[in-house]
Each structure stands twice: as structure tokens, then as C-alpha cells.
Amino acid sequence: MLQILRHITGNVRRPILDYAAAIVMVALAALFAWGLERTLGSESFPMVFLASVLLSAVLFGRNAALIAAFMAIFAYNFLLVQPRFTIAPADNLVTLGVFLAVAVVTGGLAGRVRDQARAVAWRARVTQNLFDASRELSRSSDQEILAESLAALTAQAANGAAFVYLRDEQGLSLHSAARNDESQTADASQLADGFWPRLLASSSAKEEPPSSERFFVFVLHAVRGPLGLLICRKRSRFDPRAGADQQTLSVLADLGSIALERAHLMREMTEAKILAETERLRTALLSSISHDFRTPLATILASATSLLRHGEQFDQATSQRLILGIKDQADRLNRYVRNLLDIIRIESGGLAVRLEPTDPADVANAAIERVKPQLGHRSLDCDFAPEVTLIQADPLLLEQVFVNLLENAINYSPDGSAIIVAIGGSADQVEISITDAGRGIPPAHLDAVFGKFYRGDNAGQHPRGTGLGLSICRGLTEAMQGRIWAESPVSDGMGTRLRLVFPGLRSAAVNDEDPEIAREAPRA
């Protein structure tokens, strides 16, 4: 029976139900006492009623126990004291008074213990819920995700609608809501729009939120001013659906304020890092252009000036050498400008890639012919498989990849060394590698070499080039569904090998395709 009563009441905090349950307890005690009298003739009626008072205190609290005590003395006097169904005469009032006092004292003490236990359990539950909310809000640094989490947590705690309004360029906007309907949203927005201007205009950071019969309003404070408002549905404490109290919701609002301010600061920190990185890249670009463009321009200017001033005094061989020097330096400038334009196209997504069946060996030979004038005293050896599988690539872009890799190998290889170009693999995969005999790359920098403006140490000299070559190679290779990486050292602690892998086209698949038809690949 006690479990049934507890299930019926559900431990709700609605006093009327608690009082009604206590009266039911007394009524059950009266029926039980009536049955004892009829069957056993027992006169231990006060103990039965006292037990109902104690049970009411334990189950429903001190106030319910007091109600039960008065109802018990009335039921005992009215139903079981002779003459029945009347109020007891004066000679029984002392006995009834003692019974009432004992019932009130014992019921009050038991109820007080029960109320304190419930309060402790409630505080522990609130503390745990706030801890869980703090942990939930600390998981993200995204403002929108935090606003959604704060609205959901507040709605759960208040057991009603919750709204999170955040400050933005437009003023104050609703960023998230939970358990709401259109009517509640309109009322909450009207409340927020009326209070927010007064909050901003107030000289006090602790402007008192407006009083509302339907909503709690909490200001989301930050060090540099209010971030927004948290508004949640207010329910009567007599409502069985009532949730956490205002103090608990205020703590939850403070946790949300801290999380949102942290997200705001992290966003500012990220923007500062991006600005710093942008400034670093801009400085690196200007430094690269100022040095690498100045050297060929100086050579072109000196040769052209010599030809203009003393051209008649030079023999044909000297004039030819100066003209070739001008052409070489002009080609060098053209490569620098081309690299800059390529990296801009790759990063902006403006690179159009046309994939078609391509023989990597033919493309490699064409690139080798282009870089032969730059070899100097270095040799270039080719190690191609007898039958090289075709790949799906853009021939022009693949040739650019080969040229950049070969120029990189030339820049970092000493005179008298050999550069090896190897192509092999299987029907499913084509492997390409370019190996030099330079000083190599530190293991910690093997991935960094593909970053923009990275240039290694070239025997203590200022490295040539803009530092964009390998970054362009990675962008072009990935645009053609390939992969590229660096390995170093290669032999005896020296050398670098740059490896590329492309999916191979099987012979049957190639024969089924029309080589004249090229498809547009996704932009890098």
C-alpha cells in the first residue's frame, strides 16, 4: 500500500497532493483500527493512528505530518471513542491532547528529518547536473554549438521553453531555442528586444532583468560587456512540471556565459593567428620577390646596358653570350611568375584539370628536355620500366610537376652528382621518383617542405627559387588523384627522394576509352 501511494504521488513537490495523501493514510489507519476493534476487540487504537502520522512524515514531509496528526485525533475521537460519532466529552480531552502532542512532536521530527534528507538529495542532484552542464559546455568552442547546448540544458533544467539570444552585428539575435512554440518565441523576443537596449544604455553592468510572470531573464555577462540573454519559461512552484529554481538557472546562465566568452576569445585568437600567418606569408612573399626577382633583373639590366653602350666593341661570341644570359634570366623570371600564378590558382580553386590517358615516361622526357640547360655539371639518369602503365592525368600539369621536381633537385644537388628519374609500378599503380644527392632533409621537415615558401639550406648559400615549387607539385598531384611525399636521407645520410604515386589504367580500360575525349576533373 505504501508503494502504491508513493507511486501515485510520484514524490511530487505539489503540497496539495502531499496533504491529500496524508489524509488518505489517516483514513486507512481508521479503517484498520475499526477492523481491529470488530475482530479482536483491541484498544490499541492510538498506536495505529500514530503510525499513520509517522508514515505521513516519512513519505510526505513535516507539514503533511501535522495535517495527519490533527486528522488522526479527529478520526480517533469521532469514530472510536464512546459515544461514537460525536466529539469526546471533557474527561477525555486530556488523553486526546496528550495523543495530539505526541503525534505532532514525533511527526514533526520525522518529517523534518525527511525534509532535510530530501533537501540534501536535491542539492546533490543540482550540483551533479550543474557539473554535467559545465562539462557539456566545455566540449566545444563553437558559438553556435554552445548556444544550442545552453538552450537544451536550460530547457531540461527548467522543464520548459528556453531561448538563447546573442549579440551580433545586427544587435541581438535569437541563436537557439528548445522546447518552444511560436507564441512563446514571440513573447520571449518581445521581452528581449525591450530589455536589451536598456541594458546597453545602462552604466551598470548589473542592470536588473525585467520582471515577467511567464519567463526568467538572465544576462549572459562577459568581461567586456553583455554577450546576450538567456530566457526560459517560468512555472509556478505548485506546478508538478516545475523544474529548477531561479538560483540554479542563474548558475547555469553563468556557466553558459563563461563558455560563450571562451568561444569568443578563442575565435579572436584564431583570427589573430590567421592574421599573423597571413602577415608572415606576405613578408615571405615580398622577401622572396625582392631577392629572387632582383638577381635576374640585375643580370638582365647589366647585360642589356653593356650591349647598348659597348655593343660595337664586342665580338660576336661575347654579344651572343650576353644575349643568352638575358634569355636565361628572363626564363628564370618567367618561372617565378608562373609559380606564383599557379599557387594562386590552386588555392583559389581556379585550376582546371583535364584528365586523359597519359604516358608518364613521355611527359618525363619532355620535362627533362626543358631543364637540361640548368643541369650544369650534374648528370641526369633515367630508369624507366620497359612497359609503363598509362595514368589518368593532365599532360601539361604533369609536365609542370616534373619540371618543378627536377629544378628542385638541381638547386639542391652539388656539381658532379647524379639526379635519377625512375618510373615503374604495376598495372594498378604507377610509381615515380626523383632522387638527388644533396644534403637531404631533416626528418622533422619532410612534410613541411611542401608548405609555401619553404626553402632548405643549400650548403649555407641563399636558396634559389620562391619556395613554391613543391607546394605547387602537391596541389597539382592531388588534383590528378595522385599522392606525393618526400624521403630523406637516401644513402649514407645524404640525398632526397621525392615519390609520386598515381592509379594505373589497365589496358582493357584504356582501349575502351576514346583518347580524344577528356573529362573535366574536380578543381583543386
Residues 157-176: tens digit of each pLDDT: 888 889 999 988 778 889 89
Do domains 141-268 and 269-345 share one topology? The answer is no
| pLDDT at residue 515, as a whole number | 41
- Residue 460's pLDDT band, with cuts at 50, 70 and 90, is very low
d(CA 472, CA 281): 15
Chain mean pLDDT for the chain: 78
Domain boundaries, the chain: 2-130, 141-268, 269-345, 352-520
> Which amino acid would we find at residue 131?
F
Provide the grid cell at 362.
Answer: 613521355
Look at residues 15, 20, 7 and name the one whose alpha carbon lies nearest to residue 238: 15
The answer to whether the CB of 234 falls within 8 A of the CB of 187 is no
Length of the chain: 524
Q: CA 99, 104, 109, 111 torsion: positive or negative?
A: positive
| pLDDT at residue 33, as a whole number | 77
d(CA 488, CA 486): 7
Residue 489 preceded by cis peptide, ω within 30: yes
The answer to whether the CB of 128 falls within 8 A of the CB of 246 is no
- pLDDT surpassing 90 at residue 282: no
- pLDDT surpassing 60 at residue 508: no
| pLDDT at residue 379, as a whole number | 92
What number of helices (H) and strands (E) belong to the chain?
14, 12
Kindly report, residue by residue over 191-235, the tens digit of the pLDDT.
888 888 888 887 555 567 776 778 888 988 888 788 889 998 886
CB atoms within 10 A of CB 35: 12
- pLDDT surpassing 80 at residue 398: yes
SS (H, E, C) 328-362: HHHHHHHHHHHHHHHHHHHHHCCCCCEEEEECHHH
What are the contacts of 182-189 at 24+ separation with CB within 8 A? Answer: 184/233, 185/161, 187/214, 187/215, 188/161, 188/163, 188/215, 188/231, 189/163, 189/165
d(CA 413, CA 404): 14
Looking at residues 312-325, what average pLDDT do you find?
A: 83
The answer to whether the CB of 227 falls within 8 A of the CB of 167 is yes
- pLDDT surpassing 90 at residue 512: no
Look at the domain 141-268 and name its fold. Beta-Lactamase (3.30.450)
| pLDDT at residue 187, as a whole number | 87
In this structure, the dihedral spanned by the alpha carbons of residues 11, 15, 16 and 22, taken in order and rounded to 10 degrees, is 70
Please state whether beta strands 418-425 and 379-384 pair in parallel, antiparallel, or not at all (unpaired): parallel
CA 66 to chain CA centroid, nearest Å: 55
Global pTM reads: 0.47
> Which amino acid would we find at residue 485?
W
The answer to whether the CB of 263 falls within 8 A of the CB of 144 is no
241 vs 273, higher pLDDT:
273
CATH placement of domain 269-345: 1.10.287.130
Instruction: Kindly state the helix (H) or strand (E) to which residue 515 belongs, with its residue range.
Output: none
d(CA 19, CA 4): 16
Kindly report, residue by residue over 339-348, the tens digit of the pLDDT.
667 667 766 6
Q: Does domain 352-520 have CATH number 3.30.565.10?
A: yes
